[in-house]
Amino acid sequence: MEGSLGSGRLSRSDGQPAPPKISPATEELQSRLQETLDLLSSQELRSFRDHLKKVEPRVSQLKLELEGHSPSGLAKLLAKHYYPPAIANGVLVQVLRLLPRADLLPRWQSAPTDCPVIPRKSLKRSYDCVDGELYRYDLSGKRKAFLMCVKKNRPGAHQDVLLMKDWLNECKFEETLCMILTKWYQDLLEKITSFRDELNEIKDNIGCCLVTLMSHGEEGFIKMKDGEKVSLEDIFEMFNNKNCPALQEKPKIFIIQACRGERRDSGVETDDEPMDLDDGSEKKRLPTFSDYFIIYPTQADHVALRDPRTGSVMIKEMTEVFKQYGNKWHLADFFTIVNNRVVHRDFSLYNKPVKISLVMESTLTKFVYF
């Protein structure tokens, strides 16, 4: 039987009313809401519902409990009852402040009402909110990567290499692998210097550069097999706008998987999962350091974690998030999701609880989409 408009709602052939159509604007708001709610832990999601009832109780408690127990269900409720977007923006800001999740506030403060705050990669969608290509790096040139891993006394390091190689391949990098097998750390500097010099020779045909260093370490340094130290600042400086003109105004990404000290942050709860340490005319002018993005696996002076079976916590979560979301996220948002998962996981080290949080340092001037 065909649907009829007798009561103002379409009917299906089984006699049940068809679900109402969702407008594009409501659908877009729902998508934005879910992107934010996906970043909350289960406990934060429960707290979000509790705060929502106090801030702006437009949805009954029963509906919240029955339909809002998941990020997708809650996003659907919010998009329906807190429309237009200006209302949702104000409510989200208040609730996120109460959680507190101040890191998510920029997504909703002074947000446009007719387009998403979080830019996403789509082949069939224009970047209305980031002014076309103006605020997005052009990665059409070659994507070059340097990968170094110290295996000695780092069980699970081999798994890290496999995961990183797969991730680089998915992001369309021409991966360069450098395994440290010799005693002297000068070998690393020589190989990185050679890698940098090759970039300068490519010049205009380079899109971006990514350097991954996985080793033992301490604050400001990574360690080699023989205990020699390599200054991270020295490595970063090799790729600055003076020493690597080929990468001027192009993203330079550094993934550092190493301890930054020996401090350990104990969590409230613990489990028995064994973990290991990574201790061990007038020319335009640019700042010497710009367009950098550096990600560390832990806070300054703290240990990093690596599972002997599955590899480093950060590297493993990177690949898991990429499997789920692909390349739809800007680089900083991508690692924000990775950090959310890491922060809300509990680890044990020598049968004692330990917590970690990733650290991002950025001088990027545009969005990075792989």
pLDDT of residue 330 exceeding 80, the answer is yes
Q: What percent of the chain clears pLDDT 70, i.e. is strictly above it?
A: 79
Q: Which residues contact 169 (CB under 8 A, 6 or more apart)?
A: 175
**Active-site pick, 171, 178, 208, 216:** 216
Asked whether the predicted pLDDT for residue 218 surpasses 50, the reply is yes
Q: Is 78 exposed, middle or buried (0-12, 13-18, 19+ CB in 10 A)?
A: buried
Q: What is the pLDDT of residues 67-125, one digit of tens each?
A: 777 888 888 888 888 877 777 888 888 888 888 887 888 778 754 444 333 343 333 33
Predicted confidence at residue 312, as pLDDT, reads: 92
% of the chain beyond a pLDDT of 90: 31
Using a 10 angstrom Cβ sphere, with 0-12 exposed, 13-18 middle and 19 or more buried, the burial of residue 131 is: exposed
- Per-residue pLDDT, 274: 45
Q: Say how far apart CA 179 and CA 156 lie, in whole Å.
A: 15
pLDDT, mean of residues 119-137:
48
Structure-token match 């480093």, residue found: 312
pLDDT at 12: 39
Question: Per-residue confidence at 265, pLDDT binned at 50, 70, 90?
Answer: low
**pLDDT score, position 202:** 85
5 vs 20: which has the higher pLDDT? 20
Active-site residue (options: 209, 244, 259, 330)? 259
**pLDDT tier at 266 (50, 70, 90 boundaries)?**
low
pLDDT of residue 282: 55
What band does 242 get if pLDDT is binned at 50, 70 and 90?
very high
Single-letter amino acid code for the residue at 250: K
Residues 139-145, mean pLDDT to the nearest whole number: 93
Domain 142-362 sits in CATH at 3.40.50.1460
Determine whether 115 is an active site residue: no
Mean pLDDT of 208-219: 93
pLDDT at 136 over 90: no
Q: Taking the CB of residue 92, how many other CB atoms lie within 10 A of it?
A: 26
The predicted structure's pLDDT at residue 107: 75
Q: Write down the pLDDT at residue 273.
A: 41
Give me the pLDDT at residue 269, please.
42
Categorize the per-residue pLDDT at 131 as very low, low, confident or very high, splitting at 50, 70 and 90.
Answer: very low
Can you tell me the distance from the alpha carbon of 240 to that of 301, in angstroms, rounded to the nearest whole number? 25
Model pLDDT for residues 28-51, shown as the tens digit of each residue: 888 888 888 888 888 888 888 888
Please give the pLDDT value at position 89: 81
Task: State the average pLDDT over residues 163-177.
Answer: 88
* Number of neighbours of residue 111 by Cβ within 10 angstroms: 21
259 is catalytic: yes
Q: Which residues contact 97 (CB under 8 A, 6 or more apart)?
A: 105
Beta pairing class for 206-214 and 252-257: parallel
On the question of pLDDT at 18 being above 60, the answer is no
